[in-house]
Protein backbone atom coordinates (compact mmCIF):
# COMPACT_ATOMS: atom_id res chain seq x y z
CA UNK A 1 0.00 0.00 0.00
CA UNK A 2 2.88 2.36 0.79
CA UNK A 3 4.25 1.87 -2.73
CA UNK A 4 0.99 3.13 -4.29
CA UNK A 5 0.99 6.19 -2.04
CA UNK A 6 4.60 6.96 -2.89
CA UNK A 7 3.91 6.46 -6.61
CA UNK A 8 0.91 8.79 -6.41
CA UNK A 9 2.91 11.49 -4.66
CA UNK A 10 6.01 11.36 -6.89
CA UNK A 11 4.57 10.85 -10.38
CA UNK A 12 3.07 14.33 -10.93
CA UNK A 13 6.20 15.97 -9.59
CA UNK A 14 8.39 13.86 -11.88
CA UNK A 15 6.24 14.86 -14.87
CA UNK A 16 6.51 18.54 -13.88
CA UNK A 17 10.31 18.29 -13.73
CA UNK A 18 10.41 16.66 -17.16
CA UNK A 19 8.14 19.34 -18.61
CA UNK A 20 10.27 22.07 -17.05
CA UNK A 21 13.51 20.59 -18.42
CA UNK A 22 12.41 19.67 -21.93
CA UNK A 23 9.57 22.04 -22.91
CA UNK A 24 7.87 25.33 -22.19
CA UNK A 25 4.48 23.73 -21.53
CA UNK A 26 4.20 24.92 -17.93
CA UNK A 27 5.39 28.45 -18.64
CA UNK A 28 2.89 28.76 -21.52
CA UNK A 29 0.11 27.55 -19.24
CA UNK A 30 1.00 30.04 -16.53
CA UNK A 31 1.90 32.97 -18.86
CA UNK A 32 5.62 32.82 -18.12
CA UNK A 33 5.21 32.97 -14.35
CA UNK A 34 7.41 30.70 -12.27
CA UNK A 35 5.93 31.28 -8.80
CA UNK A 36 2.59 29.48 -9.24
CA UNK A 37 4.10 26.35 -10.84
CA UNK A 38 6.71 26.26 -8.06
CA UNK A 39 4.03 26.48 -5.37
CA UNK A 40 1.98 23.90 -7.27
CA UNK A 41 4.97 21.55 -7.35
CA UNK A 42 5.01 21.41 -3.56
CA UNK A 43 1.32 21.82 -2.68
CA UNK A 44 -0.99 20.56 -5.49
CA UNK A 45 1.06 19.02 -8.31
CA UNK A 46 -1.77 17.20 -10.10
CA UNK A 47 -3.95 20.31 -10.05
CA UNK A 48 -1.04 22.34 -11.44
CA UNK A 49 -0.57 19.87 -14.30
CA UNK A 50 -4.30 19.81 -15.04
CA UNK A 51 -4.39 23.61 -15.09
CA UNK A 52 -1.50 23.71 -17.58
CA UNK A 53 -3.26 21.17 -19.82
CA UNK A 54 -6.51 23.15 -19.63
CA UNK A 55 -4.74 26.39 -20.55
CA UNK A 56 -2.65 24.90 -23.37
CA UNK A 57 -5.01 22.37 -24.93
CA UNK A 58 -8.60 23.08 -23.87
CA UNK A 59 -9.35 26.78 -24.42
CA UNK A 60 -8.68 27.74 -20.81
CA UNK A 61 -10.40 26.81 -17.58
CA UNK A 62 -13.91 26.60 -19.03
CA UNK A 63 -16.07 23.60 -19.74
CA UNK A 64 -13.93 20.46 -19.93
CA UNK A 65 -10.88 22.40 -18.77
CA UNK A 66 -12.67 23.30 -15.55
CA UNK A 67 -13.75 19.69 -15.07
CA UNK A 68 -10.13 18.58 -15.54
CA UNK A 69 -8.85 21.07 -12.95
CA UNK A 70 -11.52 19.99 -10.45
CA UNK A 71 -10.62 16.32 -10.97
CA UNK A 72 -6.95 17.19 -10.42
CA UNK A 73 -7.82 19.02 -7.22
CA UNK A 74 -9.90 16.12 -5.94
CA UNK A 75 -7.08 13.73 -6.75
CA UNK A 76 -4.58 15.86 -4.84
CA UNK A 77 -6.86 16.21 -1.84
CA UNK A 78 -7.62 12.48 -1.91
CA UNK A 79 -3.97 11.54 -1.72
CA UNK A 80 -3.33 13.98 1.13
CA UNK A 81 -6.45 12.95 3.05
CA UNK A 82 -5.97 9.21 2.72
CA UNK A 83 -2.43 9.27 4.10
CA UNK A 84 -3.50 11.26 7.15
CA UNK A 85 -6.49 9.06 7.85
CA UNK A 86 -4.46 5.87 7.82
CA UNK A 87 -1.90 7.31 10.24
CA UNK A 88 -4.57 8.24 12.76
CA UNK A 89 -6.17 4.79 12.45
CA UNK A 90 -2.86 3.05 13.14
CA UNK A 91 -2.24 5.15 16.24
CA UNK A 92 -5.67 4.27 17.61
CA UNK A 93 -5.16 0.55 16.91
CA UNK A 94 -1.74 0.58 18.59
CA UNK A 95 -3.24 2.00 21.80
CA UNK A 96 -5.76 -0.86 22.17
> Ramachandran region of residue 60, left (φ > 0), alpha (ψ -120 to 50) or beta?
left
DSSP assignment of 16-31 equals HHHHHHH-SHHHHHTT
Burial class of 88 by CB neighbour count within 10 A (0 to 12, 13 to 18, 19+): exposed
- Residue 44, number of CB atoms within 10 A of its CB: 20
Q: Strand, helix or coil at 38? A: helix
pLDDT tens, residue by residue, 33-62: 788 889 989 999 999 999 999 999 988 888
pLDDT tens, residue by residue, 57-87: 988 888 999 999 998 999 888 855 555 555 5
- What's residue 80's pLDDT? 54
Amino acid sequence: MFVFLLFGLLTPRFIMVLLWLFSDYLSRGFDGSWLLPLLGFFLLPTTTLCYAVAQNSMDGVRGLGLVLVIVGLLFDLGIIGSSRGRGVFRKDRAAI
